[in-house]
């Protein structure tokens, strides 16, 4: 009798205030075989992290209320090891020191290709 291995999908939390971006990312990630939770702001993401487990966070940089760097700093107080991928079209506004201090694992420049996203996912999940 063969023993079946249980396949557990990796869980990714997507944080982006732009509705269209959330929908596209959720669709892309689900097609890649991931379990996806989406939210539109950093505060809700932090609440989810306190009650649920994720394997990676994909977050936009510029969001109202709490930006991606501020959220990442707060995440690091909850989970020091979860990969946090910061997505931004405005990388010129980011300083390397601020990225490192916030605990960002990788910066993904928008717009990015499906292959760039796939490479990032394979590297950190």
Q: Which listed CATH number (3.40.50.2300, 3.30.590.20, 3.40.50.10420, 3.10.129.10) goes with 11-124? A: 3.40.50.2300
pLDDT value of position 39: 97
pLDDT value of position 1: 44
Cα dist. 60→8, 9, 45, 68, 79 in Å?
26, 23, 12, 6, 19
Q: Cα separation of 70 and 7, whole Å?
A: 34
pLDDT value of position 7: 58
Asked if the model's pLDDT at residue 12 lies above 50, the reply is yes
Residue entry with tokens 């928008």: 110
Handedness of CA 22, 60, 63, 89 (dihedral sign): negative
Instruction: Give the alpha-carbon dihedral of 103, 125, 113, 94, to 10 degrees.
Output: 0
Q: Supply 44's token pair.
A: 């809700």
Alpha-carbon 75 to chain mean position: 11
pLDDT value of position 2: 46
pLDDT value of position 71: 97
Question: pLDDT digit string (tens) for 68-116?
Answer: 999 999 999 999 999 999 998 887 667 777 888 899 999 998 899 999 9
Report the SS3 class of residue 18: coil
Cα dist. 43→3, 13, 66, 106, 121 in Å?
42, 13, 7, 21, 24
pLDDT value of position 90: 80
Question: pLDDT digit string (tens) for 33-75?
Answer: 999 999 999 999 999 999 999 999 999 999 999 999 999 999 9
Q: Which of 29, 59, 27 is nearest to 42 (CA)?
A: 59
pLDDT value of position 97: 75
pLDDT value of position 6: 45
């Amino acid at each position: 009798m063969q023993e079946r291995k249980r396949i557990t999908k990796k869980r990714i939390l997507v944080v982006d205030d732009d509705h269209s971006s959330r929908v596209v990312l959720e669709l892309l990630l689900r097609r890649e075989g991931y379990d996806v939770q989406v939210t539109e702001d950093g505060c809700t993401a932090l609440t989810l992290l306190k009650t649920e487990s994720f394997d990676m966070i994909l977050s936009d940089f510029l969001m109202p209320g709490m930006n991606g760097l501020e959220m990442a700093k707060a995440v690091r107080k909850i989970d020091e090891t979860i990969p946090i991928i910061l997505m931004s079209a405005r990388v010129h506004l980011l300083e390397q020191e601020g990225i490192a201090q916030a605990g960002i694992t990788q910066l993904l420049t928008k717009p990015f290709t499906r292959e760039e996203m796939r490479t990032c996912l394979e590297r950190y999940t």
